[in-house]
Structure 1
Amino acid sequence: MLSFLKSAVWPKSGFWTVTQPYQHTPVADVFGSLDKVFKLPGEQITSDPLSKVYKVTAAGKVFYVKRYTGGGKGLRRYIGRSRVRAEWKNLLLFRRLGLPTANLVAYGEQKLLSMMLKGALITEELENTIDLSEVIEEYPDYLTDRNWLLPVIDQVAWATRVLHAYRFVHNDLKWRNILVSRDKTNPQIFLIDCPGGFRWFGPMLQYRIVKDLACLDKLGKYHLSRTMRMRFYKLYRGNSLTHRLTSKDKQQIRQVLGFFEGRE
């Protein structure tokens, strides 16, 4: 079916947007259209069945170009919001909610009827950052340094609380998807890579919230003390550090701790 649609003579539609800070700059010339972006040379960083990420230097800066060749899995391949559209919309949402994230440079997609043919989004490199999972290998001493660890935990708790208060769940809130600056005295976190994030309502919202918290604790339970994990949870709940856990808190904690049981 896919090959038939691509070979048939159907009208194609699409758009490409360069965000305001980069318009009328040399960067806009480099990333001026979707076709141009797909022809750019660059260093391939990662790949999966739907997309590839390239590191590209332009106008003296480093950018990450994520090129999609599929809209998603199953029916999402043909109808509904494509994965690339979800990812750029979520980055824009983070910005509206006041959450630190990478600067979105350009984004867009091309469709054939309702099926996405290709799409891309470009972000500017967050200099001197590392993802939290890499901290374990490269800077293990940071995880026992309260001067570094406390502000990182506090920021992650705040960002997660803001998302969930908006009824938005990340759906892949793992350490690898949180960047942190290498500044040991004043670390700053950034949320990245969120194509699966979505707003939920009702019982499914609570289930997805537990999943987000469990994703964070997947590495947290091995590399953070119980005290630090409890600090995160209390701040995430909007409580003081001296607050006594309620029965509802304890129930949610049990759900978080048991979420990945038998699946790791």
Structure 2
Amino acid sequence: MKRWWLNPDYANGEAERLFGTLDATFATKGEQVAKSPVSRVLRVTADGKRYYVKRYLGNGKNAVRRWFGLRGLVAPQRVVKEWKNLLLFRKWGIPTATLVGYGLERKYGSFVRGALITEEIPNTTDLERLATASDPCLRDRRWMAQVLRQVANITRTLHAAGFAHNDLKWRNLLVDGGGSPTVYLIDCPSGGMWWGVFLKYRIIKDLACLDKVAKYQLSRSQRLRFYLDYTGQRRSRPFVVFVL
């Protein structure tokens, strides 16, 4: 059984020829930009635009991670979670990549392969790449304040909905150029809804992921300002000292 959806905005063009079906998507050639044991990401140019094609094949080579064959039958597939999460981001008003197409194939009820295609967000770079290159933008406090405020709002929106990204790293945050930057959240195959103590743990993990790079790139005041924006506070609360 094959399921496939193509964004109507990309019909009647070269994109439809390349991504109109699951078979066509897997036959499309392009520049490989990333790979893992279960997926490959290609960059493809069509109709004067660039697209990222993420193709999942099987459930990995590790028998334990595959649950000895049961994962393909009962576990939610990463490709499904990824396209559903991108749709959730759109619903919540979080800037993200446009979905062009997505779908999967099952055989005897078990996952065989799947794919999703997103259009490239032009003139963007991920924050981790900027940090690695010591980009001057990171030293521009006004520019960085706009970026951090948006990252705080995105993170707060996710967590307020009971959602944890589970890989909220600087590399998954794109920012475009210009004096008024926009931050985009991408690449979320492991995010999901949580509750209670499980949600609290995942929230801490998300914030810790962000701070892995932030603690080397930002000042203490910038990190505090981010946390205040995330919690919705205008200023830090003073500590009250009791003398016994």
Q: Please report the TM-score for the alignment, with normalisation by the length of structure 1.
A: 0.84
2:95 aligned with 1:103:
no
Distance in 1 (CA, whole Å) between partners of 2:135 and 2:100 is 33
Aligned residue for 1:78, secondary structure, equals: helix
Q: Which moved more, 1:14-23 or 1:101-110?
A: 14-23
- How many corresponding residue pairs? 233
2:226 aligned with 1:238:
no
2:202 aligned with 1:208:
yes
Distance in 1 (CA, whole Å) between partners of 2:23 and 2:215 is 45
Counterpart mapping for 1:6-25 below 5 A: 13-25=1-13
Aligned residue for 1:122, secondary structure, equals: strand
Over 3 Å counting, the alpha-carbon distance change for 1:49 and 1:139 in structure 2 is: same
Task: Quote the residue 1:6 is aligned against.
Answer: none
The sequence identity of aligned pairs, in percent, is 48
Task: Quote the residue 2:171 is aligned against.
Answer: 176
Kept in 2: contact 1:79–1:114 (CA 8 A): no
Distance in 2 (CA, whole Å) between partners of 1:28 and 1:245 is 58
Distance in 2 (CA, whole Å) between partners of 1:89 and 1:102 is 13
Kept in 1: contact 2:59–2:66 (CA 8 A): no
Q: Residues 135-173 of structure 1, C-alpha deviation per residue, up to 9 Å, x if partnerless?
A: 113353222211210000000000000000000000000
The letter for the 2-side match of 1:29 is R
Deviation at 1:244, TM superposition (A): 1.1
Task: Quote the residue 2:133 is aligned against.
Answer: 138
Deviation at 1:245, TM superposition (A): 6.6
Distance in 2 (CA, whole Å) between partners of 1:84 and 1:108 is 8
Task: Quote the residue 2:222 is aligned against.
Answer: 228
Deviation at 1:214, TM superposition (A): 0.2
Kept in 1: contact 2:101–2:118 (CA 8 A): yes
Kept in 2: contact 1:71–1:78 (CA 8 A): no
Q: Please report the TM-score for the alignment, with normalisation by the length of structure 2.
A: 0.91
2:66 aligned with 1:74:
yes
Counterpart mapping for 1:119-158 below 5 A: 119-158=114-153
The letter for the 2-side match of 1:74 is R
Q: 2:162 aligns with which of 161, 167, 170?
A: 167
Deviation at 1:77, TM superposition (A): 3.4
The letter for the 2-side match of 1:117 is V
Task: Quote the residue 1:10 is aligned against.
Answer: none
Q: CA RMSD in A?
A: 1.6
Task: Quote the residue 2:111 is aligned against.
Answer: 116
Counterpart mapping for 1:89-100 below 5 A: 89-100=84-95
Q: Which moved more, 1:104-113 or 1:73-82?
A: 73-82
Task: Quote the residue 1:40 is aligned against.
Answer: 28
Deviation at 1:47, TM superposition (A): 0.3
Task: Quote the residue 1:254 is aligned against.
Answer: none
The letter for the 1-side match of 2:19 is F
